[in-house]
Amino acid sequence: MAGMINATEGMRCSHAFLSCEEALPVFSKEDLPDVILLDIGLPGMSGIQGIEKFKELSPSTLVVILTVYDDNDKVFNALCAGASGYLLKDSPPEKVIEAIKEVLAGGAPMNMQIAHKVLGMFAQFKPKKANYGLSEREKEILQYMVSGLTKQQIADKLFLSFHTVNTHLKNIYTKLHVNTRSGAVSKVYEEHLL
């Protein structure tokens, strides 16, 4: 990798180390490079632990992971630790050079397989809509209540008695685990229930 980087115009690989333990004493005395290519499975300290150490020494240094590991935990932990890109070692050499250029330009290089995993992980974090078991009629009444209609206005609009609307609202409050109109409205907005 060092030879390939040094053969690329405008790039220079100043150091190559076998472990984070070898690199850290050197980088504690001199400036860190703009970009570090880092494996995860290293002897001693893992690359993920290394990212954190390198970022402590130089927060602006960009770290691109270049590894054989493609499991979700490793990808997630590397990105959370501060990696700016994640490539697999089966990436063609020109892709690694492109990734260095891309990360320097503000990008986040990843091969398609890793990008797909990352998108899948983010989809899991999307809050699920809570199912409070509201009937269609209860949802309709709740929508009118959120719109600001009074119980009587809701009753008139739906051709129901005031008491029927009141019963529905009591059921809605019970199902939403709230005690007041404002509590129900707040829950609708916070949880995007309608």
> Averaged over 65-92, what is the pLDDT?
92
Contact 2, 13 (CB under 8 A): yes
Residue 131 lies in a domain: no
Q: Are residues 50 and 81 in the same domain?
A: yes
167 within 8 A of 154, measured Cβ to Cβ: no
Q: What is the pLDDT of residue 128?
A: 65
**Residue 116: what pLDDT?**
86
CA distance 62 to 51: 9
Bridge-based pairing of strands 62-67 and 35-38 is parallel
Instruction: Answer yes or no: pTM beyond 0.85.
Output: no
- Is 173 inside any structural domain? yes
Closest CA to 63 of 45, 77, 79, 83: 83
* 130 domain residue, yes or no: no
Q: State pLDDT tens for residues 125-179.
A: 766 667 899 999 999 999 999 999 999 999 999 999 999 999 999 999 999 999 9
Parent domain of 119: 2-125
Percent of the chain residues past pLDDT 70, beyond the cut? 98
Same domain, 95 and 59: yes
Q: What is the dihedral of CA 148, 151, 157, 159, to 10 degrees?
A: 170
Whether residues 119 and 39 fall in one domain = yes
Q: Are 42 and 19 in contact (CB under 8 A)?
A: yes
Q: Looking at the structure, do residues 121 and 154 belong to the same domain, yes or no?
A: no
Same domain as 72, residue 8: yes
CA distance 139 to 14: 64
DSSP designation for 192: T
Q: Quick one: 161 and 115 in the same domain?
A: no
Q: Are residues 101 and 154 in the same domain?
A: no
The SS3 assignment for 186 reads: helix
- What is the count of structural domains for the chain? 2
Q: Is residue 163 part of a domain?
A: yes
* Percent of the chain whose predicted confidence (pLDDT) is above 90: 79
Tell me if 151 is assigned to some domain. yes
